[in-house]
Chains A and B, each alone.
Chain A
Amino acid sequence: ETGVTQSPTHLIKTRGQQVTLRCSSQSGHNTVSWYQQALGQGPQFIFQYYREEENGRGNFPPRFSGLQFPNYSSELNVNALELDDSALYLCASSLGSGREDTEAFFGQGTRLTVV
């Protein structure tokens, strides 16, 4: 077990709706990243948060947004859902100390289906 948990595990939404996915990082991990994994493909980086601030973003539109909280939990919000948003959403947490960084530990993912 990685100590990273995501909820819910599965979710079905209608096109145009909004969704919030949640992640609980390993205790003490101050960095969390979110990835989108389409079926049969590798994960694609959405964005990263470090100490509650976004400090990196991939090629995703602004309707993908996030939050990181002091208790090591985080959220991924997606507005105006599109069919192509159907994917496995993964969060990964790590400790960024600048001196001895840890590897990223992934959660089991949330399978989002947009109909």
Chain B
Amino acid sequence: GESVGLHLPTLSVQEGDNSIINCAYSNSASDYFIWYKQESGKGPQFIIDIRSNMDKRQGQRVTVLLNKTVKHLSLQIAATQPGDSAVYFCAETFRRSRYNNNDMRFGAGTRLTVKP
């Protein structure tokens, strides 16, 4: 079946380095992709999103890249800080024309650990 998954379950980086978290998706009909950050004991927090008509989108210290050819999504975090330590999820969905479609499919997540 189609699924959303992540390449690496854990990632450890040094404070100040850049982090790259990868995600593979297999549903070619998905047109909206989101990255969430989840800290222990909290709900997922929106980081950045991208629609399928784009291949790159930048936010504050974060960049999401979308490669539709190989169905790959990545999250880049610049100058990683200890506060970035969390589990990161990619999610995909198909936005319907009328309703806001929130039946997102999440991957298992990548745990990012930032070493001081």
Contact = CB atoms under 8 A, between A and B. Distances in A.
Interface of A: 2, 4, 31, 33, 35, 40-45, 48, 50, 55-56, 58, 90, 92, 94-98, 101-109
27 contacts: A2-B43, A2-B45, A31-B100, A35-B106, A41-B108, A42-B4, A42-B91, A42-B106, A44-B106, A48-B101, A50-B100, A56-B102, A58-B103, A90-B43, A94-B102, A95-B100, A96-B99, A98-B98, A101-B95, A102-B100, A103-B34, A103-B49, A105-B46, A106-B36, A107-B43, A108-B42, A109-B42
Given A44-B106, A101-B95, 5 more contacts: A48-B103, A96-B98, A96-B100, A101-B100, A103-B34
Contacts of A45: 102-105
B102 A31 contact: yes
A98 to B, nearest CB: 5
